[in-house]
Amino acid sequence: AQTVTQSQPEMSVQEAETVTLSCTYDTSESNYYLFWYKQPPSRQMILVIRQEAYKQQNATENRFSVNFQKAAKSFSLKISDSQLGDTAMYFCAFMKHRAGGSEKLVFGKGTKLTVNP
Amino acid sequence: DAGVIQSPRHEVTEMGQEVTLRCKPISGHNSLFWYRQTMMRGLELLIYFNNNVPIDDSGMPEDRFSAKMPNASFSTLKIQPSEPRDSAVYFCASSPTGGLSHEQYFGPGTRLTVT
């Protein structure tokens, strides 16, 4: 079974600064996907960024980027130029590959990020 | 596109009552997932369907929980009888066939409180 660990229950950062959220996972699968989801107080789950395990290049989406270390089974999220709207719970999630469709997501416990003005 | 629709958004019921949560996936999506979020256990999968067929129900806690997907545009999650420990936020998510991103699109969730 796969497990996802987020070791930082809470973090805070000043507006405009950079913050990195940690995530490690355990799997015997060779082909899989990793995701970061954001959950603001509205509780809506919003996809922030995704990474395919077969790709060596780290994914980037505007101010969000990841550091994917496959051998170390590490998948950290870096948020640059933090904004007040980034305040939310952030969940790291694992999905094993299934041809033709989506599989279940396995989530970490989450990191509560607060961006301070 | 309206996104994934869940109803009701909030449900308060008494222990022992039957509760039915509803989900309408995004049109054209062929996979549907039910997740539960609690403070103690975080986000966990209850069950998922592919082409209306249940594929993995290993997360369904016990026989009090049942889920159906009678057609491609509707699914229900039923709890009978409900217990206070069932209090949680229940999310429905859908995903398209053959999508390269394998992204799951979440509904707004149903907050269930059992007193």
Map B43-68 to HEC letters.
EEEEEEEECCEEEECCCCCCCCEEEE
| Probe site for chain A from B26, B29, B30, B43 (most A CB atoms < 10 A) | B43
Q: Is the pLDDT of residue B21 over 90?
A: yes
Can you tell me the distance from the alpha carbon of B9 to that of B17, in angstroms, rounded to the nearest whole number? 18
**Residue of chain A minimizing CA distance to B36:** A107
CB contact under 8 A, B102 and A102: yes
Cβ proximity of A49 and A64 under 8 Å: yes
CB contact under 8 A, A104 and B106: no
- Res B99: pLDDT: 59
Query: Burial, B115: exposed, middle or buried (Cβ in 10 Å; 0-12, 13-18, 19+)?
Result: exposed
- Res B1: pLDDT: 63
- Res A101: pLDDT: 74
**B92-115 per-position pLDDT tens digit:** 999 987 656 678 999 999 999 999
